[in-house]
Amino acid sequence: MRKWNSAFRLPPLPHPPHLPTPYPPLTPTHLPTHKPVILDQKNSLIYLKRLSLLILGLGIFIRVAQYISNRSLWGDEVMLALNLMERSYPELLQPLTLDQAAPPGFLYVQKFAMQTLGNNEYALRLFPLITGIISMIAFYQLGKWAVSAIALPIALALFAFLKFPLYYATEVKQYSSDVMIALLLCLLLIPLRDQVLPRGRSLLLGFVGAIAVWFSHPAVFVLAGIEAANLITLPKQRRKPIIINRLPAYFLWIVSFATLYFLITANVMKNQSLQSAWGGEYPQTVFDLIWLLDSFGRVFYRPLGFSSPMDGVALITFIIGCVAFFKKDRIKLLILMSPVFVTLLATYLHKYPFRGRLILFLAPFFILVIAEGIAFLLIQLKQRKKVAIAGIVLAGLLLIPPLVRAGGFLIRPETKEEIRPVIEYVKTHQQPGDAIYVDAFNHFKYYAARYGYSPTDYIGGYQEFFNPKRNAYSKAAWQNLMRANNIQNGQRMWFVFVGVKQSEEAFVKARLDELGQQLDYYEQPGSSTYLYQLK
């Protein structure tokens, strides 16, 4: 064949005699001394890795800055803190009061932090901060396996700067640790997908999963989802030996979860207030498609944190990411979405609401798919410029608002209900004989000892007298309150409120004006106090 080709090869054309001699070929001596920088694939990967590490550092820095700002505890945080204050370790295994629920492991860590570091905001938020930082690092490690190099910094930026993954890293609740445990379980289980483990490692895997479910309620969904996806995607000849090999681990997981469920979780689920609060979040039937579409769409607003209408853009990008994964690596897509499927199954069984902060642990999986969707559009630059431009636009729409918002935290950290400076103001300006009425009774109760107040120094809890949330007011209840607490006409009284919305302020002011004459007013974000001379 080679001889046949050479026999039919055309000879080179001679140089025409009437044309000048061609220029000699360029040699290194003819080239300029400086060399242009060429962004080859290797350099691009280096720059993308550096960008990812930079974003990782910024995400950690903003979380630490938010922690240092030391905002006051708000409603849910206060009520969980009161349970920690008033209960011993064994009592924390019983259903919590004030409509609170949290895994025992998380409660024990928080109780230990309160005892060793003091009953203050820094101590209570330290563990959520640590779990938030570990989550950033674990997300980076998972992202290196899950998405393309160009998608990794996009995913990290979304995870670092989106509203709720950032906010809950400094909240006195278990949602940040839920995210950390979900990510760590992924990093543990995914590499073991096709491995037959020694007996010792199989038992160790079992103990790790058994402990995880005591620290995070949704950990069982991650364990079940990732392991099921691993087994489904294995070749048939490998599936049976790995199942047999993992039986000790599965046994420990089941025993641990069953013990937790029947001793603690089942009693918590008897709380009618919690059941009524989340009752509307469950589908009515297995075929409730409207509920499924609505709940799935809400994920992009909360817990991810895309504001409207960007939540719709994020949903479209997520669908594009699913298509990109389906074409490139269906196994990865199934593994990443498996915790979502298991959580939805629990929701259809009316065991776990698929809504809001309770599914924050699923946020990393959605973010990875969204980032891959953006990357899929961006890499079309050479072939389909219009598609690539759409990717650039989507990246800007989804990344810039969270980045600006997160950057604003460095200048003005987020606050919710700043009751602490309001109590300080009352304490500083209070005169002997002044009475204090507290609308936010639990807030004041938590901070009372810190500012030298005893339980007899303030009154509250009379929702039948005054409830701005319901525009409820009763003069008869006010008279009963005065008699029960020996309040006299002409006495000065401080009214302390938390969480009163702007639409409710007019109602509050009008009702208080019926009781007396306003002497003072002080306001902080989410909290305020009025001083009145009673009629």
Strands 527-534 and 492-498 come out as antiparallel
Taking only Cα atoms into account, the Rg of the chain, rounded to an integer number of angstroms, comes to: 31
Distance CA 334, CA 322 (A): 10
Is residue 37 a part of any domain in this protein? no
Structure tokens belonging to residue 518: 């306003």
Is residue 23 a part of any domain in this protein? no
Boundary of a domain, candidates 346, 379, 411: 411
Same domain, 92 and 224: yes
Name the 3-class secondary structure at 370: helix
Boundary of a domain, candidates 411, 443, 462: 411
Same domain, 398 and 433: no
Is residue 316 a part of any domain in this protein? yes
Same domain, 439 and 360: no
Domain total of the chain: 2
Same domain, 464 and 402: no
| CATH number of 461's domain | 3.40.47
What residues contact residue 210 under an 8 Å CB cut-off, 6+ apart?
A: 252, 253, 255, 256, 257
Same domain, 292 and 429: no
Same domain, 188 and 303: yes
Same domain, 341 and 238: yes
Nearest one of 352, 329, 328 to 340, comparing CA atoms: 352
Same domain, 366 and 483: no
> b/e per residue, 221-258, with b = 16+ CB within 10 A?
bbbbbbbbbbbebbeeeeeeebeebbebbbebbeebbe
Boundary of a domain, candidates 363, 392, 411: 411
Is residue 5 a part of any domain in this protein? no
Is residue 387 a part of any domain in this protein? yes
The per-residue pLDDT string of the chain (535 residues; one tens digit each, 9 = 90 and over) reads: 444 444 434 444 444 444 444 444 444 444 444 444 444 677 888 999 999 999 999 999 999 999 999 999 999 999 999 999 999 999 999 999 988 999 999 999 999 999 999 999 999 999 999 999 999 999 999 999 999 999 999 999 999 999 999 999 999 999 999 999 999 999 999 999 989 999 999 999 999 999 999 999 999 999 999 999 999 999 989 999 999 999 999 999 999 999 999 999 888 887 777 777 676 678 888 888 898 999 999 999 999 999 888 999 999 999 999 999 999 999 999 999 999 999 999 999 989 999 899 999 999 999 999 999 999 988 876 667 777 788 888 889 999 999 999 988 888 888 899 999 999 999 999 999 999 999 888 999 999 999 999 988 998 865 567 766 666 677 777 888 888 888 888 899 999 999 888 878 888 888 889 889 999 999 999 999 999 999 8
CA distances from 40 to 50, 144, 243, 374, 454 (A): 16, 20, 44, 22, 70
Predicted TM-score of the model (pTM) = 0.88
Same domain, 263 and 404: yes
Is residue 31 a part of any domain in this protein? no
Distance CA 220, CA 342 (A): 9
Same domain, 494 and 348: no
Same domain, 502 and 369: no
Distance CA 518, CA 492 (A): 10
Is residue 34 a part of any domain in this protein? no
Same domain, 398 and 454: no
Distance CA 507, CA 166 (A): 35
Is residue 166 a part of any domain in this protein? yes
